[in-house]
């Protein structure tokens, strides 16, 4: 495929709608645990008001997410959203080399292992808008290689924002990138959590778009998938999500993430999911970090389950892939198209 054809396909991808892929990676972990009022009640008993908060937020950091005020109200049944809500969802990939004190089982290994932490790179970054006024749900994927400038750090790829300041700094930077949009809450999930969730669900059925084979001995990453619709376990699902060695790079990976999101939602809506609640709850408690409360989680999931699939929009940040020379080395970036971003934010996120 010529570079012109690849660039043309990338340009089309930024506005492609995927109405069937109406689930997102981070909320898979919380959503499947709250598909009914019974499960919701169990969660309310099991968790405190901020059930998944695993990182202390300073007063200044917390203020970034509270500018819009309360987002829910309670009634006799499940809580409801009172206004449009924007949630920043980050999928974390953290290796032993990314943390100062890796767990004992991950030390002294001959390779870089994945660890249960939230302090690494955000391989997946989504801004999800829940709008009860229009009864629409919009998911905007932000490529991990998006070139941005971070205060006090300089030019970086946006997936490094979490390492350089945590979820609040990431939210501030994403807001700047997206025409000043308000970000109300955040949710981080690590790679281990995704694998464990899929296994807790009993696997997911996904259409693998092509044969995939790749080996990285430094991370013990072994990808070997055949083309076709098949039932994948947690490890195989991660292989599909992490593969990026094709002509489309990160944009192709986003397409595959959309496939997995749709598969997770279909599996989550299966009635047998409730019987797997103890395993799912264990994954949620140890592999998620969020400043959403139980009431807010229930309201968001309740909204998502009831929404018409035709009112779900999957988008990718407008831009172009390019290599830029930095200190005599070529660095691959996704260069944002700010004019088209402004138009997209006005159309789908009520900006402007």
What residue ranges do the domains of the chain occupy?
Answer: 3-194+289-348
Asked if the 3-194+289-348 domain carries CATH number 3.30.420.590, the reply is yes
Q: Is the pLDDT of residue 306 over 70?
A: yes
pLDDT tens digits, one per residue of 49-68: 455 677 789 999 999 998 88
Mean pLDDT (the chain, rounded): 80
pLDDT tens digits, one per residue of 232-266: 999 999 899 888 777 666 777 777 877 787 777 66
pLDDT at residue 2, as a whole number:
52
Higher-pLDDT residue of 265 and 109 is 109
Residue 19 pLDDT class (50, 70, 90 cuts): very low
What's phi and psi for 247, nearest 5 deg? -65, -25
CA 145, CA 128: separation in Å to the nearest integer?
19
- pTM equals 0.79
pLDDT tens digits, one per residue of 160-206: 999 999 999 999 999 999 999 999 999 998 888 888 888 888 888 99
pLDDT at residue 327, as a whole number:
64
Residue 128 pLDDT class (50, 70, 90 cuts): very high
Q: Is the pLDDT of residue 271 over 90?
A: no
* 3-state per-residue secondary structure call for 141-188: ECCCCEEEEECCCEEEEHHHCCCCCHHHHHHHHHHHHCCCCCCCEEEE
């Amino acid at each position: 495929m010529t570079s012109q054809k690849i660039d043309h396909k990338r340009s089309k991808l930024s506005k492609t709608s995927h109405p069937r892929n109406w689930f997102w990676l981070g909320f898979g972990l919380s959503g499947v645990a709250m598909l009914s009022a019974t499960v919701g009640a169990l969660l309310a008993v099991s968790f405190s008001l901020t059930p998944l908060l695993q990182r202390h937020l300073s007063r200044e950091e917390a203020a970034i997410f509270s500018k819009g005020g309360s987002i829910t109200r309670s009634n006799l049944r499940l809580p409801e959203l009172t206004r449009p809500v924007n949630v920043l969802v980050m999928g974390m990939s953290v290796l032993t080399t990314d943390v100062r004190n890796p767990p004992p089982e991950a030390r002294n290994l001959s390779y870089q292992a994945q660890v249960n932490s939230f302090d690494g790179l955000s391989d997946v970054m989504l801004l999800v808008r829940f709008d009860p006024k229009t009864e629409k749900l919009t998911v905007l994927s932000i490529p991990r290689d998006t070139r941005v400038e971070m205060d006090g750090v300089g030019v970086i790829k946006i997936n490094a924002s979490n390492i350089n300041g945590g979820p609040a700094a990431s939210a501030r930077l994403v807001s700047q990138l997206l025409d000043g949009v308000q970000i109300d809450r955040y949710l981080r999930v690590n790679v281990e959590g995704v694998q464990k969730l899929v296994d807790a669900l009993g696997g997911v059925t996904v259409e693998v778009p092509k044969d995939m084979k790749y080996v990285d001995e430094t991370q013990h990453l072994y990808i070997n998938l055949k083309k076709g619709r098949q039932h994948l376990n947690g490890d195989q699902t991660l292989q599909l999500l992490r593969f990026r060695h094709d002509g489309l790079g990160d944009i192709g990976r986003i397409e595959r993430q959309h496939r997995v999101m749709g598969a997770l939602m279909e599996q989550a809506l299966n009635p047998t999911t409730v019987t797997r609640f103890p395993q799912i709850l264990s994954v949620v408690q140890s592999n998620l970090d969020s400043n959403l409360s139980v009431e807010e989680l229930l309201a968001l999931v309740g909204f998502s389950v009831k929404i018409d699939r035709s009112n779900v929009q999957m988008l990718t940040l407008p831009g172009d892939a390019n290599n830029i020379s930095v200190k005599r080395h070529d660095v691959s970036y996704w260069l944002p198209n700010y004019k088209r971003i402004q138009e997209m934010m006005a159309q789908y996120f009520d900006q402007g």
